[in-house]
Structure 1
Amino acid sequence: MKRLSSSKRVVVNNVVKGEIEWEVRPGGMLVQRRNMGDASSAPLIKIKVSHSSYHHDIALPAQSTFGDLKRVLAQETGLEPKEQRLLFQGKEKDDEECLHMVGVKDMSKVVLLEDPASKERKLEEMNRNQTVLKACEEVAKVKSEVDKLSEKVTALEAIVGAGTKVTENEFLVLTELLMVQLLQLDSIEADGEAKVQKRVEVRRVQGLVDALDKLKARNSNPFVTSCNAVAVSSKWEAFESGVPSSTRITQEWEVFD
């Protein structure tokens, strides 16, 4: 709406009652500018809004704008006003247009459509969330397997700590099983929360492999100190910024041959 800058003072019995502000309504009609008080005191009309398979009965002052209607519909539908498109008699209406000026009456029908760009953004976000959820489920499966292997490493620590000799094959098998889980983590494409969980499991597997390497050295020579053990912790530096490719993991595996 265009608001005129001019105004007129109304004088009744030599008393100034105030200024009249004017505005141009759609169609070129010059009328007194309405204010919120006028709108709130105007009679209510009920509008039937169709939104996909849903229907909403909205009651608001007849002098409200389509922008006002959008704000009410935002509470009903969860769609922000900028995400809404309102059609009346087959034509999209601007936020500034008044309901009664374009012919909206009691029990009139208005169609609500979601803005295509907004709908596409929500679809993309939903797809991203589904991808993250799938990745989290895959990481959770690996975590379950690593939990079982961790229990076996703990059991080996207790045996070696008690001075019992363990065959070297026990260490090799556990190490290989852990590396298989590391390869599985490497194959998971992860973002967001899934990426964080993935990194946690990678570091946990690294720690278990390091622990096995030290146990293996201690099992071979009970008198060896931790500083003499052949550790592979430095080999894991490549993982700090993410899981390496399968080829790199295979190369790191050579340290156990």
Structure 2
Amino acid sequence: MAYQHQLSVPAHSTFGELKRVLAQDTGLEPGEQRLLFRGKEKDDDERLHMAGIVEMSKLVLLEDPASKERKLERMNRHQASETIAAVGAAVGKLAAKVSSSETCVHASMKAADEELADLTELLMVQLLKSDSLEAEGEARLRRRFEVRRIQDMVETLDLLKARRNSYPFISSSSDAVSVTTQRETFESGLESPSAPRPKASSPPRITNNWELFD
């Protein structure tokens, strides 16, 4: 994209002085500029009027390729550092959830398979973000650390899934109700242990006093 800048400077100024004026309008430092007049790049100590520049002359300003590349590298490093920092924050939150699931499994409490699967998927998303970065220096070391941390947590989740499926879990909140059954039978020939026993009747008394009737 091309831009036009209209400037007014003394004719005896040098191209280096012109670059310092242009830096205020373009944001490019003098060392990042290349000034061309009539297809030739001009040295900083060369004067404008000696190069044939007069009023309304046009010059071409280019950004130095090496400077542009350095800027791009700095931007990429900054972007990589921000992305790694975001990945680290997300992984830190997921680590707390993995630890909670691990505690539940080791305490023989039920941890849903869906929850373990979701955690694995979220960790893999962060792993892909880390792998796609082209980081250098400190950012590269941080990326390696986060990748290893994610891999360790994924391995932990795989072990938890295997452990969870290896034995039944007992819920910590038991809904079982203890029922005591007492049966009382009132069928013929059987008595209830708690039923009152009937009083024993006195046997009949037999006497030998007979009365005779003519």
Paired AA for residue 6 in structure 2: D
Q: 1:168: which partner in 2?
A: 109
The residue that corresponds to 1:77 in the other structure is 26
Q: Matched residue of 1:67: which SS? A: helix
1:21-170 pair list within 5 angstroms: 53-131=2-80, 146=94, 149=97, 168-170=109-111
Gaps of 5+ in 1: 1-51, 158-165, 200-240
Distance 2:96 2:150 in 1: 23
Deviation per CA, 1:112-169: give whole Å up to 9, x if none: 111111122223344445555555666676678x49959xx59x99xxxxxxxx9722
Identity of aligned residues (%): 42
2:205 maps to what in 1? Answer: none
TM-score normalised to the size of structure 1? 0.44
The residue correspondences of 1:7-22 to structure 2 (distance < 5 A) are: none
SS in 1 for 2:7: strand
Structure-2 change in CA distance of 1:91 and 1:194 (3 Å) = closer
Identify which of structures 1 and 2 has the higher relative contact order when contacts are C-alpha pairs closer than 8 Å and 6+ apart.
Answer: 2
1:199-210 matches, within 5 Å, as none
Aligned length, in residue pairs: 153
Q: Distance in 1 between matches of 2:19 and 2:124?
A: 52
Alignment partners' CA distance in 1, 2:33 and 2:154: 54
Could you tell me how far 1:74 is from its partner in structure 2?
0.8
Q: How far apart are 1:185 and its partner, in Å?
A: 3.6
Match of 2:206 in 1: none
- Could you say which structure has the higher strand fraction? 1
1:244 aligns with 2:148: yes
CA deviations over 1:190-233 (Å, ceiling 9, x no partner):
5567986x89xxxxxxxxxxxxxxxxxxxxxxxxxxxxxxxxxx
CA RMSD of aligned residues (A): 4.3
- Taking a change above 3 Å as real, the CA distance of residues 66 and 171 of structure 1, as seen in their structure-2 partners, is same
The residue number in structure 2 matching 1:226 is none
Q: Is the contact between residue 84 and residue 114 of structure 1 (CA under 8 Å) also seen in structure 2?
A: yes
Conserved? CA contact 1:142–1:184, under 8 Å = no
Deviation string, structure 1 residues 85-117 (Cα, Å, up to 9, x no partner): 111122111001011112111111111111111
Deviations 1:6-56 (A, max 9, x none): xxxxxxxxxxxxxxxxxxxxxxxxxxxxxxxxxxxxxxxxxxxxxx52111
Q: Give unmatched runs, 5+ long, in structure 2.
A: 164-214
